[in-house]
A and B are shown apart, each in its own frame.
Chain A
Amino acid sequence: MLIRHAPDLTDNDVTDHSLYLKRRTLMAGLAGVGLAGVAAGEAQSRQAKAGLAFTKGFSTTEKPTPKDDITRYNNFYEFGVDKGDPAEKSGRFKPRPWTVRIDGACEAPRTIGIEDLIKANRLEERIYRMRCVEGWSMVIPWVGFPLKDLLTSVKPTSKAKYVAFETVMRPSEMPGQGWNTLDWPYREGLRIDEAMHPLTLMAVGLYGDVLPNQNGAPLRLVVPWKYGFKGAKSIVRISLVEKQPVTAWNKLAPREYGFYSNVNPAVDHPRWSQATERRIGEFRRRDTLPFNGYGEWVADLYRGMDLKTFY
């Protein structure tokens, strides 16, 4: 597709939003759903909006959930426990300026500003399914870069067996942190091979725009084959560590939220079934897929592991 336009107009400016969405679904379809889609997507014109320039990346061909739903139905307990709280109560949060510390078992630890991080990495749009541990799901067009690229840049040593994520602690800007629902700051973690997997994304944007506060601005983790809570939001520190790190939900209720938390219809949450999910916008529940449908690419990471034990 070749569109001629004035230098400061982007495709988004001249295209009706719904048409734009349809077209990107089509393009994602043409690009295929394999990892090879990255190369095909790159041939497409670069998208630029609100300072984010990105190419098409590995994506599902499913219809993205409307932006209104993605930005108004959130679990982000730092802003409150109701799904509407993050959209309503994140107005005072300042995601810029922002720095991230990357340290631990690596040769080149560093602290980097969010704008430099965005500039230094090649951004891609990736449309991923997101399955919440509560039994609902969305299809979300993220913009970001593989975590792998960031980790490689600090040269991990052989002692780097896990990656620990620490998120921001700002009770003055995050009203939910005034109450110990979880042990703040929120922490998450991945095994190093999970963190280095090409599907694991550091997201900085959503629907082509800069990430809204309620979705984890300015920088969040997205691991599409795991339950949504593994995707730590508003990250301030990424540490390469030798031991399995403490994670927030696992600390609160270890029997209910495992360290791995891979989407698995065969392992129920102790209090509810994980066999089905409600896709936001749909009436009937649909079956939940092992690894949220990403098994083809990630199941090998867990070969030989009993996923009922390591849930």
Chain B
Amino acid sequence: MASHPKGAVKKRPSKLRDNLVYALVWAACFAPVVWLAWKGYAGALGANPIEALIRQLGVWGLRLLLIGLAITPAAKILKKPRLVRFRRTIGLFAFSYIALHLVSYVGVDLFFDFKQLWKDILKRPFITLGMLGFLLLIPLAVTSTNGWVIRMGRAAWSRLHRLIYLIVPLGVAHYYLLVKADHRPPLVYGAIFALLMGWRAWEAWRVSPGSAAGTGRPARR
């Protein structure tokens, strides 16, 4: 972005520029699934393409959830408040990847064997947790529109969307529990989540009126 002379009023970026940035975000969110589809088509997903597909969709869903959670801190730290407008897009993409992850597990791996699915949900903790996380994501996806924010009221909407702080660790636990021996990848995602939550806790304490570092600004996440 061009630098502004001191004291000049920051102008809102042009519509064209705005659309361009949006297009880039969309393209980036679409890239993993396009790449997966291409690899699948080219037979490059390895000897067990079904497992690879399910795993990759799940991992990308988790990554997008974490990127979504990183936006608020990034907007504050980089002093670019308008970044938050990407939260909805990224959140909905995360939901889509996780929905595809579930659909490919139920439709391709289990081949719609719903009896087996039910057994898995009851007997396998990693599937129980994953399924719970997905169910909790549904209301967030449904209420993601501006209409719903108005209908629910900002405060109630925010409270509902705080469910994401429960959903992401469910996703990390789901991943952790299915790994056989090398727990490093799920632990890395867990650590990133902890870091993002740590920042939120610190930020809430910093801006709370009672704290020494309080600036008097109202506490907002």
Seen from chain A, the residues whose Cβ lies within 8 Å of a Cβ on chain B are: 65, 68-69, 72-73, 77, 81, 83-84, 134, 136, 179, 181-182, 252, 268, 271-273, 278, 280-281, 283-285
A179 to B184, CA, bound (A): 10
Determine whether the beta carbon of A84 is less than 8 Å from that of B124: no
**Alpha-carbon distance A181/B182, docked complex (angstroms):** 6
Q: Contact check, B48 vs A280: say whether CB atoms are below 8 A apart.
A: yes
| Alpha-carbon distance A73/B48, docked complex (angstroms) | 8
CA distance A284 to B108 in the complex (A): 8
When the two chains form their complex, are residues A182 and B119 in contact, meaning their CB atoms are under 8 A apart? no
For residue B52, which residue of chain A has the nearest CB? Answer: A83
Comparing B69-77, B89-97, B173-181, the segment that makes contact with chain A is B173-181
Q: Is the CB of A273 within 8 A of B47?
A: no
- A74 to chain B: closest residue by CB: B47
Given contacts A81-B180, A81-B181, 13 further A-B contacts (CB under 8 A): A65-B47, A72-B46, A77-B181, A181-B182, A252-B181, A271-B126, A272-B178, A278-B48, A278-B51, A280-B48, A283-B50, A284-B111, A285-B109
User: Chain A binding site: helix, strand, loop or mixed by DSSP?
Assistant: loop
4 nearest A-B pairs in the assembled complex, by CB-CB distance: A73-B47, A69-B47, A81-B182, A181-B181
Residues of B within 8 A of A273 (CB): 116, 119-120, 123-124
Q: B48 to A83, Cβ gap below 8 A?
A: yes
Which chain B residues (163-212) contact chain A, with CB distance < 8 Å? 177-178, 180-182, 184
Interface centre among A69, A268, A271, A283 (most CB of B within 10 A): A271
Interface flag for B139 (CB, 8 Å) = no
**Quick check: A271 and B46 within 8 Å, CB to CB?**
no
Write out the residue numbers on chain B whose beta carbons fall within 8 Å of the beta carbon of A77: 181-182
Shortest distance in angstroms between B14's beta carbon and chain A's nearest beta carbon? 45
If A81-B181, A179-B182 touch, does A278 touch B124 (CB 8 Å cutoff)? no
Bound CA–CA A131/B123 (angstroms): 22
13 CB < 8 A contacts A-B: A68-B47, A69-B47, A72-B46, A73-B47, A77-B181, A81-B182, A83-B46, A83-B47, A271-B178, A272-B120, A273-B123, A278-B51, A281-B47
From A182, A268, A271, A280, give the contact of B47 (CB < 8 A). A280
* Across-interface contacts of B32 in A (CB, < 8 A): none
Query: Digit string of B100-125 for contact with A (CB within 8 Å is 1, else 0)?
Result: 00000000011100001001100111
Q: Quote the shortest CB–CB distance from A223 to chain B (angstroms).
A: 20
Per the bound structure, the CA–CA distance linking A23 and B182 in Å amounts to 42
Q: Please, which residues of chain A bring their CB within 8 A of the CB of B180?
A: 81, 134
Contact B125 A271 (CB under 8 A): yes
Q: Give Cα A252–Cα B181 distance, bound, in whole angstroms.
A: 8
